[in-house]
Structure 1
Amino acid sequence: MPAVTTGLVTLFLWKGLLYDPSDSGVINKIIQWINTWPAWLAALCRLGVGAAVLSAAVGLLDLARRDTERLRARVVAAVLALALIGGVLALLLKVSRQGGGLAAVGQAMTSPFDFKLQKFLQDHKRALFWLIMPVIWAGAGPGCLIYLAALKGIPEEQYEAADIDGAGLWDKVVHVMLPHLKALIIINLVGAVVGGFQASGNIFVMTGGGPEDATMTIGLYIWYNAFMFLNFGLATAMGWIMGAILIGFTLTQLNILNKLEFRSVAVEPKMKE
């Protein structure tokens, strides 16, 4: 599913089938429509979203407190709590920029929406974001499956032993979960770093490194110097330097992997009741 939707999103961004940097784009029309909502409706939406996130975080924390084996509930609750804290900090930052106190907080909560129109790939501040997100979303599906399989391979006895020793959420993550996932994280890190250094194909097609070189990557810069500007000396030197960096990084990670101990996990079949 992520791979399919990523292809559609990339096509929309490239050909402008869904968006238009001008006011006539579908997404910008939706943004303009949301900005026309009255102040009471905007305040109601803000309060509703905040209450929903807070209720979900409190409910998951209570569920995790009653059932200590549900580590997933605690992790989700922590993420929701961080999202809530981030929203509050963003509101306080906006108020501090306006130079106000509690009155400014109330005004920010009750003021109409003022979302800016998006220029997408033509915005030099956010163009790289719009290029990165489809790639991340495309790899989210396989990555989640791999990490989920690794999490399933962690023996439940270790979590139970941690509970008996009085370990909290952070202790379980650091001393139980991460040691089992260390090898997988290193392998994925190597692949992500190498892929990030070599990323150029989708950027060349969608933006060509622009606007204002905001999306220019090392691989694309090497390609431009070699095949557009015919500056083969500089391109070759940069290629060798990048290759040496990646080889050194990979060898370092492989040295770490060499010190790890790999074990096979046997899954016990469940008996039918």
Structure 2
Amino acid sequence: MAKERSSSGDPARTLELLWREPGSEGARRGPRQVLSVDAVVLAAVGVADAGGLEALTMRGLARRLGVTPMTLYTYVPGKAELLDLMLDAVYLRMPRTDHAGQPWRDRVAAVASENRELYRRHPWVAVLGVSRPPLGPGTMAKYEHELTAFDGLGLDDVSMDAALTFVLGFVHSVARTAIEAEDTDRDSALSDAQWWAVNAPLLDRVLDPGRYPLATRVGSAAGQAHQGVYDAEHAYAFGLRRVLDGLARLVEGPGASGSTPPGASGSDPRGDA
């Protein structure tokens, strides 16, 4: 199956829909509109949240909304444009932390946490190719908010954009790996712990510590610590600390000691969530 990707439709039509004026749909000529673009997008997000992008088809969405596929196409030209509208809609609705006056590490950690929660709520966003994000109101509001985490730190504009891209790339990578791990557990009907228990006798025979001393020692230690091959919480907390320490050299200079913000010391940065 081809990878779903944003900005693969008609860019002019997509931008018109993204920046449509409130109430503009009611001014259309012809039969009275029974739906709205927003209603179509909301329903499509619900389908993708429940079953992934593979569950989203124009025909299935039309059936869900109680209209014919041809009626659906009067609201959105096709699935490519619909994906852009969906992505911008979830960007527009994602919660944004008011981190005014907070230390820069806390601000950046909040941005990372917000994006991690976005992927948790909408896993399909993590697997949607977004090399050219739809430049709609949601995308622009998200970008404006996230840049404030780096504002006032003495970085030039290009460095601010690069620093934000660095943080978001880390969060996306961890989220994507966590989703794939969850998919593997679901498809195999076995958790990591169960898989290892089933295959342990064979692995004990073929994995020779004498031949692979580091791999067996470190792998065993990590497996026991995480009770599996991969621990998404540990990977996120460990990685975020390293990301912030790396940015500290850019923001504070080569001698930055690096202090960890609340929530980035091994627990979920969202606190009790």
Larger helix proportion of the pair: 1
TM-score scaled by length of structure 2: 0.27
TM-score of the aligned structures, taking structure 1 as reference length = 0.27
Task: Compare CA radii of gyration and give the structure with the larger one.
Answer: 1
